[in-house]
Amino acid sequence: MTEEAPWTIGRLLTWTTDYFAERGVESPRLDAEVLLAHARGCPRIALYTAFEEKPDDETRARFKDLVRRRAGGSPVAHVVGYREFYSLEMSVTPDVLIPRPETELLVVTLLDRLKEREQPEAVIADIGTGSGAVAVAVAKQAPKASLTAIDKSPAALAVAQRNAEKHGVADRIRFVESDLLGAVQDPVRFDFIVSNPPYVTTNELAGLEPEVRDQEPRLALDGGPEGVTVIEPLLAQAAGRLAPGGGLLIEIGPSIAERVERLIEATPGLGRRPTIKDLAGHARVVEAVRSA
């Protein structure tokens, strides 16, 4: 009779990866690693040098519970309560969109513009801040900038406030519950307005993975029949609230890029700049500048 192989970290990862793959989990190995690192209380990278180690019973019990919840359809970020964004751990709950890697391009572009225009002390609005991912990452990288982070959802703002505190930037981000800039009186003008608004079209929404469609807030995703229900009024408001020469950066999905470009061109006071593509070559961030 052969003795069963011990449950080492390597074996737990292999078994769980296969189990997730059978259940149609999109990134089975990555999810297995994130959950085991969380159960073990270590960074994911630390698993790579511990494949032969046998986790204690408590760690294994914690891991088993996390695996069960993930296999039951909860997004891995909800199971562990955070998602990494711009190398920062952002707390997430079902009240906020789980920050996506694509959105890092919005942050990178804004930081580039701050440098190019030599405006380290810029006054910035982040509209639809959700978990606060964009505002917090920008505040971390631009230590003299001040931000107003806006959301229609008070529950999302509470998560964003927590993330700002966790990363030590709460003193430079003001959180405001508002429909776009409607309830934001002060400041009157911004040097930059950035936004990752809801931009999924009604048709696209129906075809999204249930894990996204059913477990992330509709308010964060639903851009209406053409995907521009929030973007259209946002353009008009931004044109009136940017300082002359101020910049507007909006994340979009490739399917609505042309439509948004035409809308920018039709907005008095805004001059459109070339759309920025992501690493996959998809149109991802539209840009405009407020004419003087």
Ligand X SMILES: C[S@@+](CC[C@H](N)C(=O)[O-])C[C@H]1O[C@@H](n2cnc3c(N)ncnc32)[C@H](O)[C@@H]1O
Whole-angstrom distance, CA of residue 58 vs CA of residue 188:
54
Q: Taking the complex as a whole, how short is the minimal distance between the CB of residue 92 and ligand X, in angstroms?
A: 9
Strand order of the β-sheet with 123-127 is: 173-177, 146-151, 123-127, 190-195, 242-251, 283-290, 270-277
| Cβ nearer to ligand X, comparing 12 with 184 | 184
Q: Which of 147, 230, 248, 256 binds ligand X (CB under 6 A)?
A: 230
The H-or-E segment that residue 112 falls in is: helix 104-116
Q: Taking the complex as a whole, how short is the minimal distance between the CB of residue 220 and ligand X, in angstroms?
A: 4
Question: C-alpha 247: how far from its chain's center?
Answer: 21
Which of helix, strand or coil describes residue 235? helix
Q: Which long-range contacts (CB under 8 A, 24 or more apart) does 36-42 make?
A: 36/9, 36/12, 36/63, 38/66, 38/79, 38/80, 39/63, 39/66, 40/9
17 is in an annotated binding site: no
Here's the x/- map for ligand X, 117-156, by CB under 6 A: it reads as ----------xxxxx-xx---------------xxxx--x
Query: How many other CB atoms are found less than 10 A from the CB of residue 47?
Result: 20
238 binds ligand X (CB under 6 A): no
Contact 160, 151 (CB under 8 A): yes
| Cβ nearer to ligand X, comparing 198 with 246 | 198
Binding range to ligand X, per CB under 6 A, among 53-61, 96-104, 166-174, 184-192? 96-104
Give whole-number Cα distances, 126 to 72, 129, 205, 210, 258, in Å: 34, 6, 24, 28, 23
Binding range to ligand X, per CB under 6 A, among 11-19, 62-70, 95-103, 112-120? 95-103
129 is in an annotated binding site: yes
237 binds ligand X (CB under 6 A): no
Here's the x/- map for ligand X, 182-221, by CB under 6 A: it reads as --------------xxx--------------------xx-
247 binds ligand X (CB under 6 A): no
159 binds ligand X (CB under 6 A): no
Q: Which of 99, 227, 246, 247 binds ligand X (CB under 6 A)?
A: 99
Binding range to ligand X, per CB under 6 A, among 46-54, 57-65, 74-82, 91-99? 91-99
Q: Taking the complex as a whole, how short is the minimal distance between the CB of residue 122 and ligand X, in angstroms?
A: 18
Q: Are strands 190-195 and 173-177 parallel, antiparallel or unpaired?
A: unpaired
Smallest Cα–Cα separation from 173: which of 210, 220, 123, 212?
Answer: 123
Which of helix, strand or coil describes residue 58? helix
- Contacts with ligand X by CB under 6 A: the residue count is 24
Helices 28-40, 57-71: axis angle to 10 degrees equals: 140
Q: Which positions lie near ligand X, rule CB under 6 A?
A: 96-97, 99, 103, 127-131, 133-134, 150-153, 156, 179-180, 196-198, 219-220, 230
Which residues fall in the annotated binding site for substrate?
196-199
Which residues fall in the annotated binding site for S-adenosyl-L-methionine?
128-132, 151, 196
Which residues fall in the annotated binding site?
128-132, 151, 196-199
